[in-house]
Structure 1
Amino acid sequence: MWAVIGGFAFTLMLIGYWVLAMFTDTGPGEFAREISAQMGVKNNLSLTIPATGLAFLCACPLGVPVIADSAFGTVLGFAGFFFVLVGLVSFLPISLPAWMYPEWHVEWRRRRRRERLAGENSWRDTSRLEPGEPSRPEVGRTNNRSSSEATHPSPDSSGDDA
């Protein structure tokens, strides 16, 4: 039973390491990417680590005799074997889609962050009034009405600005 618990803990550490390296832009995530880069395998973070983690995840319950002798245990065994094969294939120098590599995720997060900051800064720059500058209406608004109300008044309105 301790082997099952130890295997499950190892699996959680592998999957946690993979998530940290693939999907975070933090110091520990950068450290995990550097460790994986030094291993020399091209698809280490893309296929090897998640496939190994999932293979262990499928194999851990097979240590419990009740599960191992059931149909569920057979399905877990085949799934674990499939993930072992994927892990072995990951050692081949094949190119994967760009989104499967951590560098793509890091650049994507940085680009999104830059776009979000640029959007916030442009909003702040256009809405900021300098001291002594006369107030101006907001962009897209006329007399506190939305632009669609200003161009298409409702039939109930008299057309006066009230």
Structure 2
Amino acid sequence: MWGAVGVFGFSLSIIVYWVLAMFTDTGPGEFAREISAQMGVKNNLSLTIPATALAFLCACPLGVPVIADSVFGTVLGFAGFFFVLVGLVSFLPVSLPAWMYPEWHVEWRRRRRRERLAEANVWRDTSRLEPGGPSGSAAGCVNGPFDSATTDSFPDSPGDDA
């Protein structure tokens, strides 16, 4: 039983490592990519690590005798064996689609970040304004910085506008 818990924890740590390396642009993600690059296997982060983690994840319930003797245990055993085969095939130097590599995800995230930053900063671009026109946030207003709703007196006011 405790062996199954240990294998489950180990598989979760491998999955966290893979997610950090594949899908984050943080310091720990960069560190995980550097470690994987030093291993020298081309498809290390693309196939080897996730297949190994899923094989361990499928194997951890098999440590419980009730599950191991059931149909569910048999299905998990076959799934684990499949992921072991995928892990072994990942050592072959075959090219995978670009989106399966961490470099593609890093570049995609950086491009999306630049696009979002450009979209957010469009309203700050004062070089597009004509001379003598409104500036800053008033440039986007239809009636200038103050429209008729802001110049009217309060509807609750007792009377005369001064």
TM-score (norm 1): 0.80
Deviations 1:60-109 (A, max 9, x none): 00010100000000000000000000000000000000000000000000
1:120-135 paired onto structure 2 within 5 Å: 120-126=120-126, 134=134
What does residue 97 of structure 2 align with? 97
1:47-126 paired onto structure 2 within 5 Å: 47-126=47-126
Say if 1:113 and 1:134 are closer, same or farther in 2 by CA, change over 3 A. Answer: closer
Say if 1:134 and 1:90 are closer, same or farther in 2 by CA, change over 3 A. Answer: closer
The one-letter code matched in structure 1 to 2:66 is V
* Structure-2 separation of matches of 1:41 and 1:137: 55
1:96 aligns to what SS in structure 2?
coil
Displacement after TM superposition at 1:134 (Å): 3.8
* Structure-1 separation of matches of 2:134 and 2:52: 65
4+ aligned runs moved over 2 Å, structure 1:
126-129, 132-138, 141-144
Unaligned runs of 5+ in 1: 145-162
What does residue 15 of structure 2 align with? 15
- 2:33 maps to 1:30: no
The one-letter code matched in structure 2 to 1:45 is L
Unaligned runs of 5+ in 2: 145-162
* Structure-2 separation of matches of 1:137 and 1:31: 45
The one-letter code matched in structure 2 to 1:48 is T
Displacement after TM superposition at 1:143 (Å): 4.8
**8 Å CA contact 1:137, 1:143 repeated in 2:** no
Q: CA RMSD for the aligned pairs?
A: 2.3
* Structure-2 separation of matches of 1:80 and 1:64: 15
* Structure-2 separation of matches of 1:123 and 1:27: 32
What does residue 41 of structure 2 align with? 41
The one-letter code matched in structure 2 to 1:107 is E
TM-score (norm 2): 0.80
* Structure-2 separation of matches of 1:58 and 1:114: 40
Percent identity (aligned):
84
1:94 aligns to what SS in structure 2?
coil
